[in-house]
């Protein structure tokens, strides 16, 4: 062994809350790193406030800090822990930037801490556009023509030299933040101004329109041994961020010469830079003459490396960790085959297609065009043995209501426009254009997408035609399945049902086969459990597991409302099942997950979470049952159809799941039980809606049934709004009627997460929201254990929960949401599945709710009495928003969920936990200037807090109304003009000049206000911390004036929670 370094204790930086550009992939990479270090006997400490991750489980790192990833906190932790080394490569851009800051401040040097892996000066070269170009020029590696600019004038000069359009990029950022095509000087002035608020330098480059985008994942050890684990080709040419592109692995249209030329350039470049561990290198490639440019090198694990890892089966993060400890590639084994060397480049015998998952509709008012900035919130990966097979699988995996290319929920006014100026639904626009008679060449000219891809899409269109006109014999059916058509689609084309097509298909013997991903294309025998299905084949690589097997349905793609927490649930379910002696089968389609790591289950199907595919797998495996309650709403929605098709569901009977999901049935049950609920009515026409409105009054909450995260949910305040919104919502969901309910103001919201068995409550946790009712539970700041509830309320909530659990005969996890006002408790909804907050309540209470739920589903008797009401600590879960990525979106939390992730931190009391948690959502308050703007109904609530702040030496800035009110109540403030006044000093100028360390801007419930929107948006675009909720705003102001919070000592998890979490 050539281990040069022998660190005994290593700290790993996590990535914090999920946000656009930085999602679940870092749970995967961090988890693998911890595993790799532990295997070497190294004591591992993890800093990550993302409580819903697997990496923060108690069987992972030896010590976990749920603490903000900022310089002051992490410095304190480093001083306390005194590790031998740190790892910066497993927590995305957050960890890397934090590490660079600590390095520059001399913290590592002062505490004698080594940075493992790529040396910091090398990381700096890869992050600093200027140094990077120079370093690559030294070895003749080409980068895009352009110049680095440190101010606007330099940027303008550079653009003049190159000529418009130019490409703007920012250094030290993630997800292409602030980058994009710039067509003229005015645009450049505006964008550079914005971007430079966040980063020190920008790059002005030639705009490589129509070039292909290709990337390589490179692994290098300290001895200079270097391999290219995977290459990938983007379906979307340059101009679309790789996180926004459809990506295939391996590359499809590169000749051997080009593939290996770029591979060699990559290896030479990475060797020259001296990277140790893993990195990726991105290229632009001119399809006309083969010329190339290196776009960038990411000297860390990335979204692409997670994808490459899942696409090839090569455990990139695990191997990178070992190499960072000084091991050499040839000393490591290929953990998939177990016999061959880790020093090899995977050979694929399938194609993997990654597709981004957007949620732009939920994030209202944001632009649907996609470009060089990331907007997608998740992704799926499909595996097949032909491009159409994988492509159509991927479309279904997205869970956007599309059954493939031919059946999708979109209407196009002008598909050609959306092809040339790409939107989030360009793929479907292409298909529609083909239907309109456009040719592959037409579409290529508009989009520059390689014709190889387009011809395959055209072939899918031809197949749709054949299905319509020819009888469905075995031959045609097989061809259609090989092209990725689902039974449902074929049924729709044939005027038949999914069930009928399936029946015929089985009769004709047209079945998918199951193939392994073995990293070596079958060259060596591999005991791999990593599987996919395909219709291009005759034989199965594996044998059924049989009765011992339990199938767990995973989360599918991350989107708003379904995120890493469901992956945590799936992983912990598998863990418990394995402990109870069962074989586990996981089905999931999301490459950013830990559940799709090959060693988390006995069998991993990287597959669609559709009725058809789950049936295919269940038919083959012949297991004892399917767990539908831990993967979020996609899995939950399969419960009823699977049960109808006679597949065994573990846990609560599917009929009862439906009784909870179906508002009418659920409401009747509550009425029967005498449990109160906000008045509501199901309506199918506008007339009935108006009648209901007259009865209960505005505001009203509108939502279609069977939705997760309040999709298409909204609050209306007038009849006009009601009319407009109903038409929109009804169109969104024609199969389901719309529910209108009274929107209760000034009420508190609380939730019970729990587990039951045969209708008997086993464990529960009561958490409260800091925000008043009206903020979606996924966007709410949640306190557990509840701190401000009346005992009577708690008792009543528990009583109701027992009744609901009994009546729905729940076995397994559930979640009930309540609204409380004046000691009255109303039930808002009940989910008979694990909720987003399961990892949170588990890790705070010290009892693994998923483990208990799994045992309950297995029928294991459990008489334990759990103490979950009174704990010696408080934890607060805060939402992580990504508004800075979504131009134009209004950053106000409402009934429609908009947060992309969450964090949670502990404290001795509410303020400590809340403040830490808020900071952990990447917030920091600089200076002592606060801007406050409140609607009339909130003004009086802030007097006390504002007074405290002023006493602490803060300057308060306000606009007219708030100013006058404060003045009348003895609080002096500096008055600024509103934006619409167009007078100085104005709020807008002050924001641009970064006067404020914090802004509180609470919108009025009564009316829309453009001015307030402009202020909020300016705050986001100028990177000023912003709060838009009165309750969290007040609490934060209290925290800021509390001197004790300035000297908090970061504590690790087990200092708060002593119990073992996974039993």
Partner 1 sequence: MIFNGVVPAGQAGVHTGEVVFNTGMTGYVESLTDPSYAGQILMFTYPLIGNYGVGTQWAESDKIQVSGVIVSEAASRWSHSVADRSLLEWLRSQNIPILMGVDTRALTKHLRVKGTMAGSIGINAIRPKGVLAEQKRVFIESPVLYNEQFSKKVVLVDCGSKKNILRSLLELPVQVKRVPCDYDYTNEAYDGVLLSNGPGDPTDYPATIDNARKALKLGKPTFGICLGSQIMGLAAGAKTYKLKYGHRGHNQPCLETDTTRGFITSQNHGYAIDEASLPKGWFVSFRNLNDQSVEGIAHRTKPFFSVQFHPEACPGPTDTEWLFERFYTSL
Question: Which 184-243 positions form the footprint of partner 1 (CB under 8 A)?
Answer: 223-225, 227-228
| Cβ contact 244:375 at 8 Å | yes
Site for partner 1 in 267-286 (CB under 8 A): 267
CA distance 220 to 324: 9
Q: Does 250 bind partner 1 (CB under 8 A)?
A: yes
- Asked if 329 touches partner 1 (CB under 8 A), the answer is yes
Q: Looking at 346-354, 654-662, 790-798, 857-865, which segment touches partner 1 (CB under 8 A)?
A: 346-354
User: Which two three-digit tokens encode residue 866?
Assistant: 């759990």
- Please list, in sequence order, all residues whose beta carbon lies within 8 angstroms of the beta carbon of residue 591, skipping any fewer than 6 positions away: 25, 306, 307, 309, 310, 311, 354, 379, 380, 381
Nearest residue (CB) to partner 1, 200 versus 522: 522
Instruction: Verify binding: residue 344, partner 1, rule CB under 8 A.
Output: yes
- Whose Cβ is closer to partner 1: residue 329's or residue 786's? 329
Evaluate whether 922 touches 799 at the Cβ level (below 8 Å).
Answer: no
737: how many CB neighbours lie within 10 A of its CB? 17
Nearer Cβ to partner 1, position 320 or 874?
Answer: 320
- Give strand pairing partners of 922: none
CA neighbours within 13 Å on the CB side: how many for 198? 25
Binding track over 286-325 against partner 1, x by CB under 8 A: -xxxx-----------------------------------
Question: Nearest approach, Cβ of 451 to partner 1 (angstroms)?
Answer: 5
Position among 259, 410, 706, 866 found at the interface with partner 1 (CB under 8 A): 259
| Least distance (Å) between residue 342 CB and partner 1 | 9
Q: How far is the CB of 440 from partner 1 (least distance, A)?
A: 8
List, in sequence order, the alpha helices (H) in 234-330.
256-273, 303-312, 316-324
Q: Residue 219: which H helix or E strand, with range?
A: strand 212-220
Could you give the string, one character per residue 660-699, with x where binding to partner 1 holds by CB under 8 A and - elsewhere?
----------------------------------------
| Closest C-alpha to 634, from 558, 731, 568 | 558
Q: How many CB atoms lie within 10 A of CB 866?
A: 17
The residue within the footprint of partner 1, chosen from 6, 110, 368, 455 (CB under 8 A), is 455
User: Of residues 19, 169, 191, 263, which one binds partner 1 by CB under 8 A?
Assistant: 263
First to last CA, the chain: 36
Q: Which is nearer to partner 1, 290 or 927 (CB)?
A: 290
- Residue of 699, 708, 707 whose CA lies nearest to 679: 699
**φ, ψ of residue 506 in degrees (nearest 5):** -65, -40
User: Which of 153, 161, 264, 664 is close enough to bind partner 1 by CB under 8 A?
Assistant: 264
Minimum Å gap between C-beta 607 and partner 1 is 17
Q: Does 330 bind partner 1 (CB under 8 A)?
A: yes
* Of 343, 410, 706, 866, the one binding partner 1 by CB under 8 A: 343
Question: Measured in whole angstroms, how far is the alpha carbon of residue 84 from the centre of its chain?
Answer: 32
Number of chain residues interacting with partner 1 (CB under 8 A): 58
> Which positions from 414 through 453 interact with partner 1, judged by CB under 8 A?
450-452
Q: Please give the DSSP secondary-structure letter assigned to residue 436.
A: T
CB closer to partner 1, 387 vs 1053: 387
- Shortest reach from residue 327's CB to partner 1, in Å: 12
Q: Which is nearer to partner 1, 327 or 1016 (CB)?
A: 327
386 binds partner 1 per the rule CB under 8 A: yes
Select 239 or 346, whichever has its Cβ closest to partner 1. 346
Of 160-168, 263-271, 704-712, 984-992, the segment contacting partner 1 by CB under 8 A is: 263-271
CB of 521 or CB of 1060, closer to partner 1: 521
Euclidean distance between CA atoms 1030 and 1032, whole angstroms:
6
Integer-rounded Cα radius of gyration of the chain: 28
Q: How far apart are CA 110 and CA 96, in angstroms?
A: 19
Please report how close the Cβ of residue 535 comes to partner 1 at its closest, in angstroms: 11
Q: Tell me which stretch binds partner 1 (CB under 8 A): 33-41, 385-393, 849-857, 914-922.
A: 385-393
Question: In the complex with partner 1, which residue's Cβ is closer, 212 or 425?
Answer: 212
66 vs 292 by CB, closer to partner 1: 292
Closer CB to partner 1, 348 or 700, in the complex: 348
Nearer to partner 1, 79 or 525 (CB): 525
Among the residue ranges 63-71, 128-136, 380-388, 731-739, the one whose residues contact partner 1 (CB under 8 A): 380-388
Q: Which of 6, 8, 189, 260 binds partner 1 (CB under 8 A)?
A: 260
* Of residues 695-754, those binding partner 1 (CB under 8 A): none
Q: Which is nearer to partner 1, 257 or 863 (CB)?
A: 257
Nearby residues of 988 by Cβ (< 8 Å), 6 or more positions away: 979, 1014, 1015, 1018
* Residue found under tokens 């309320």: 793
- What residues from 518 to 557 belong to the interface with partner 1 (CB under 8 A)? 520-525, 536-539, 541
CA distance 377 to 22: 9
Where would I find the H helices in 954-1059? 960-968, 987-992, 1010-1021, 1030-1040, 1053-1056
Q: 496-515 burial, b if ≥16 CB within 10 A, otherwise e?
A: eebeebbebbeeeebbbbbb
Looking at 186-194, 409-417, 515-523, 1037-1045, which segment touches partner 1 (CB under 8 A)?
A: 515-523
Question: Hey, what are 611's tokens?
Answer: 């009725």
Kindly state the smallest distance separating residue 454's Cβ from partner 1, in Å.
9
**Nearer CB in complex with partner 1: 224/1008:** 224
Is 347 a binding residue for partner 1 by CB under 8 A? The answer is yes
Handedness of CA 47, 51, 55, 61 (dihedral sign): positive
- Report the alpha-carbon distance of residue 478 to residue 463 in Å, rounded: 11
Residue 254 near partner 1 by CB under 8 A: yes
Neighbours of 589 (CB within 10 A): 30
> 485 near 404, Cβ under 8 Å?
yes
Selected binder of partner 1 within 341, 718, 867, 1063 (CB under 8 A)? 341
Residue number with CB closer to partner 1 (81 or 215): 215
State in angstroms the smallest separation of the CB of 347 from partner 1: 4
Question: Which is closer to partner 1, CB of 386 or CB of 1042?
Answer: 386
- The C-alpha atoms of residue 942 and residue 85 are separated, in whole angstroms, by 46
Q: Taking Cα atoms as reference points, which of 13, 31, 18 lies closest to residue 571?
A: 31
**Among 351, 463, 739, 747, interactor with partner 1 by CB under 8 A:** 351
List all residues 6 or more positions away from 646 whose beta carbon is below 8 Å from its beta carbon: none
Give the DSSP H/E element, type plus range, for residue 958: strand 955-958
Instruction: Give the residues lining the site for partner 1 (CB under 8 A).
Output: 223-225, 227-228, 250-257, 259-260, 263-264, 267, 287-290, 328-330, 339-341, 343-351, 385-387, 450-452, 455-456, 513, 515, 520-525, 536-539, 541
């Amino acid at each position: 062994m050539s281990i040069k370094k022998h660190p005994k204790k290593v700290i790993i930086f996590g990535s914090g809350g999920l946000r656009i550009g930085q999602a679940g992939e870092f749970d995967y990479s961090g988890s693998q790193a911890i595993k790799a270090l532990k295997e070497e006997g190294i004591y591992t400490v993890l800093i990550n406030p993302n409580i819903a991750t697997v990496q923060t489980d108690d069987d992972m790192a030896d010590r976990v800090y749920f603490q903000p990833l900022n310089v002051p906190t992490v410095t304190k932790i480093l001083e306390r822990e005194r590790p031998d080394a740190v790892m910066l490569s497993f927590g995305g851009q957050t960890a890397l930037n934090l590490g660079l800051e600590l390095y520059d401040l001399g913290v590592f040097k002062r505490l004698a801490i080594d940075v493992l892996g790529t040396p910091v000066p090398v990381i700096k070269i890869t992050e600093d556009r200027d140094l990077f170009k120079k370093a690559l020029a030294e070895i003749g590696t080409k980068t895009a023509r352009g110049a680095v600019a440190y101010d606007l004038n330099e940027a303008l000069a550079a653009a003049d030299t190159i000529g418009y359009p130019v490409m703007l990029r920012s250094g030290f950022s993630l997800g292409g933040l602030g980058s994009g095509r710039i067509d003229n000087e005015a645009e450049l002035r505006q964008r550079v101004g914005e971007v430079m608020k966040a980063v020190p330098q920008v790059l002005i480059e030639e705009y490589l329109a129509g070039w292909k985008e290709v990337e390589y994942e490179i692994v290098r050890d300290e001895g200079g041994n270097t391999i290219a684990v995977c290459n990938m080709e983007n379906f979307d040419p340059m101009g679309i961020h790789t996180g926004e592109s459809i990506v295939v692995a391996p590359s499809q249209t590169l000749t051997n010469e080009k593939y290996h030329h770029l591979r060699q350039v990559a290896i030479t470049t990475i060797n020259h830079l001296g990277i140790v561990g893993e990195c990726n290198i991105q290229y632009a490639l001119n399809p006309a003459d083969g010329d190339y440019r290196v776009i960038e090198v990411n000297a860390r694990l990335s979204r692409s490396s997670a994808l490459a890892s899942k696409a090839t089966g090569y455990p990139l993060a695990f191997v990178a960790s070992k190499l960072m400890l000084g091991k050499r590639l040839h000393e490591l084994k290929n953990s998939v085959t177990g016999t061959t060397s880790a020093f090899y480049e995977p050979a694929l015998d399938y194609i993997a297609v990654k597709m981004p998952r957007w949620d732009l509709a939920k994030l209202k008012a944001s632009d649907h065009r996609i470009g060089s900035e990331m907007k997608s919130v998740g992704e799926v990966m499909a595996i097949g043995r032909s491009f159409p097979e994988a492509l159509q699988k991927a479309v279904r995996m997205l869970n956007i209501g599309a059954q493939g290319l031919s059946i999708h929920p979109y209407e196009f006014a002008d598909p050609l426009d959306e092809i040339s100026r790409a939107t989030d639904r360009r793929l479907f626009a292409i298909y529609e254009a083909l239907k309109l008679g456009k040719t592959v060449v037409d579409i290529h000219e508009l989009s520059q997408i390689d014709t190889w891809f387009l011809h395959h899409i055209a072939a899918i269109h031809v197949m749709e035609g054949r299905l319509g006109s020819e009888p469905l014999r075995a031959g045609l059916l097989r061809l259609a399945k090989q092209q990725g058509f689902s039974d449902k689609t074929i049924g729709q084309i044939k005027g038949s049902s999914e069930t009928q097509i399936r029946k015929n298909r089985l009769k004709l013997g047209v079945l998918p086969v199951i193939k392994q991903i073995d990293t070596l294309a079958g060259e060596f025998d591999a005991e791999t459990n990593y599987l996919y299905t395909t219709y291009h084949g005759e034989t199965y690589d594996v044998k059924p597991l049989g009765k011992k097997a339990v199938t767990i349905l995973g989360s599918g793609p991350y989107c708003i409302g379904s995120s890493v927490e469901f992956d945590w649930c799936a992983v912990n379910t598998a863990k418990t099942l394995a402990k109870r002696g069962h074989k586990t089968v996981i089905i999931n389609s999301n490459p950013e997950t830990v559940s799709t790591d090959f060693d988390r289950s006995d069998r991993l199907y990287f597959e669609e979470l559709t009725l058809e595919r789950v049936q295919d797998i269940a038919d083959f495996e012949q297991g004892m049952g399917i767990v539908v309650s831990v993967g979020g709403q996609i899995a939950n929605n399969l419960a009823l159809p699977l049960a109808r098709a006679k597949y065994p569901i573990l846990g609560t009977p599917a009929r009862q799941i439906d009784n909870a999901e179906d508002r009418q049935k659920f409401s009747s049950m509550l009425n029967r039980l005498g449990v109160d609920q906000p008045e509501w009515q199901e309506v199918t026409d506008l007339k009935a809606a108006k009648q209901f409105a007259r009865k209960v009054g505005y505001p009203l909450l509108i939502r279609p049934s069977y939705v997760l995260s309040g999709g298409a949910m909204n609050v209306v305040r007038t009849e006009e709004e009601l009319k407009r919104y109903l038409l929109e919502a009804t169109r969104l969901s024609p199969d389901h009627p719309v529910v209108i309910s009274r929107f209760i103001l000034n009420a508190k919201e609380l939730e019970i997460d729990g587990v039951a068995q045969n209708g008997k409550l086993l464990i529960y946790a009561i958490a409260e929201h800091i925000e008043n009712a009206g903020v979606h539970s996924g966007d709410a700041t949640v306190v557990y254990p509840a701190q401000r509830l009346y005992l009577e309320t708690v008792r009543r909530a528990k009583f109701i929960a027992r009744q609901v659990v009994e009546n729905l005969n729940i076995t397994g996890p559930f979640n009930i949401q309540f609204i409380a006002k004046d000691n009255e408790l109303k039930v808002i909804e009940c989910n008979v599945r694990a909720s987003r907050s399961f990892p949170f309540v588990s890790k705070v209470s010290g009892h693994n709710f998923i483990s208990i739920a799994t045992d309950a589903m297995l029928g294991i008797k459990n008489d334990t009495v759990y103490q979950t009401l009174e704990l010696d600590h408080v934890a607060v879960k805060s939402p992580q928003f990504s508004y800075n990525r979504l131009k134009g979106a209004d950053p106000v939390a409402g009934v429609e969920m908009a947060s992309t992730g969450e964090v949670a931190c502990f404290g001795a009391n509410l303020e400590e936990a809340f403040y830490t948690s808020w900071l952990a959502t990447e917030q920091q308050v600089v200076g002592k200037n606060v801007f406050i703007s409140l609607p009339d109904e909130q003004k009086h609530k802030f007097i006390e807090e504002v007074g405290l702040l002023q006493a602490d030496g803060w300057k308060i800035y306000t606009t007219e109304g708030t100013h006058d009110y404060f003045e009348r109540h003895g609080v002096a403030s500096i008055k600024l003009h509103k934006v619409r006044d167009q007078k100085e000093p104005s709020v807008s100028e002050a924001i641009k000049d970064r006067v404020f360390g914090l802004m509180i801007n609470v919108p009025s419930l009564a009316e829309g206000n453009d001015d307030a929107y402009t202020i909020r948006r300016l705050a986001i675009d100028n990177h000023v911390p912003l709060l838009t909720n009165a309750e969290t705003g007040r609490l934060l102001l209290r925290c800021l004036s509390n001197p004790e919070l300035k000297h908090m000592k970061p504590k690790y998890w087990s200092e708060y929670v002593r119990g073992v979490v996974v039993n």
